[in-house]
Every structure is written in C-alpha cells, then in structure tokens.
Amino acid sequence: MSRYRVKVGDKLHDVTVDDVTGHPVTVTVDGRPFEVWIQEDEGPPPAASAPAPLAAAPASAAVIQTPDPLTVAAQPRRMERGGRTVRAPMPGKITQVAVAAGQTVERGQLLCVLEAMKMNNQVRSPREGTIGEIVTATGEQVNYGDPLVVFEL
C-alpha cells in the first residue's frame, strides 16, 4: 500500500493506493474508495502531474487512469445501488455460468466465471436474492459493464 498527498487546484487530498498488481486497483481518495485500472506508461511520468509519495515509489513508472468525477455516475457499475443487475467487472469470455434463473443465491455465492488474460475471475453475488434472468452464456465474449445476471425484485 502506498500513501500520497495530491494537490488538485488549491486543495490537498490524501490518497492511498492498494496493491497495484490487482485488477482493478482500489484507490482511496479522502476516505472514498474508487476502482481503477493501471496502464503501464512507456515514457517517464509527467513531472507536473505526478503525486509526491509519502513512501518510496516503485522503480517502474505507471499512469493511474481514473474516471472524470463528473461522469462517474453515468458509467456502469458491477451492481447498481439498490439495483438488480450484476455487470461484468472487466472484458473477457464467460467460461462457466454457475446459477440458473429462479435459483435462490446467498451473498458471495459464485454466479459465473469470466476468463480475462488467461486468468479465471469469479463473479460472486453481491447480495442474497433470487435470480430473475441469466443474460450471458458460456462461451460468450463480454465487455466491461455488460449485464451478466439480473435479480428478481
């Protein structure tokens, strides 16, 4: 975990970055968590926008891409607050669907497996409930934010 003090305009922000090998990476800004993807940068990091680390920075430079805060609400989420739809956390191929429509599931139960970059990623239920519809199928390619499973009301 790395801690930074970032100045945006005239305001200072406390930023904590979890393990950068995870996908996505959890970045906490002033106590508010965000999920971000890290893209390796081919050149040196830009001096003007690079945050000053509180701890030693890693040897390899990386650009942390975060969404524009004004458009975050418009972007798809894994599960909308109070919503019914579980969405793909990343692009990939569905290799297993572990539930069926009408099935009752517990929070944390496996819904499906998504293969991305030769790794199997388990998509688990964010809540208890009954599955209303399976939107995806084994072998299907999905993009980030595509609906996978819809819960009944």
Instruction: State residue 76's pLDDT score.
Output: 45
Half-sphere exposure of 110 (CA within 13 A, CB side): 11
Q: How far, in Å, CA of 133 to CA of 151, rounded?
A: 7
Confidence of residue 74 (pLDDT cuts 50, 70, 90): very low
Instruction: State residue 151's pLDDT score.
Output: 92
What's the farthest any 2 CA atoms get from each other in the chain?
Answer: 54
For residue 98, pLDDT beyond 80: yes
Domains and CATH numbers, the chain: 2-74 (no CATH), 85-151 (2.40.50.100)
Q: What is the mean pLDDT of residues 22-35?
A: 78
- Give the mean pLDDT of the chain: 76
Q: How far is CA 67 from the centre of its chain?
A: 12
Distances (CA, A) of 82 to 79, 86, 151: 8, 11, 11
Q: What is the mean pLDDT of residues 146-151?
A: 92
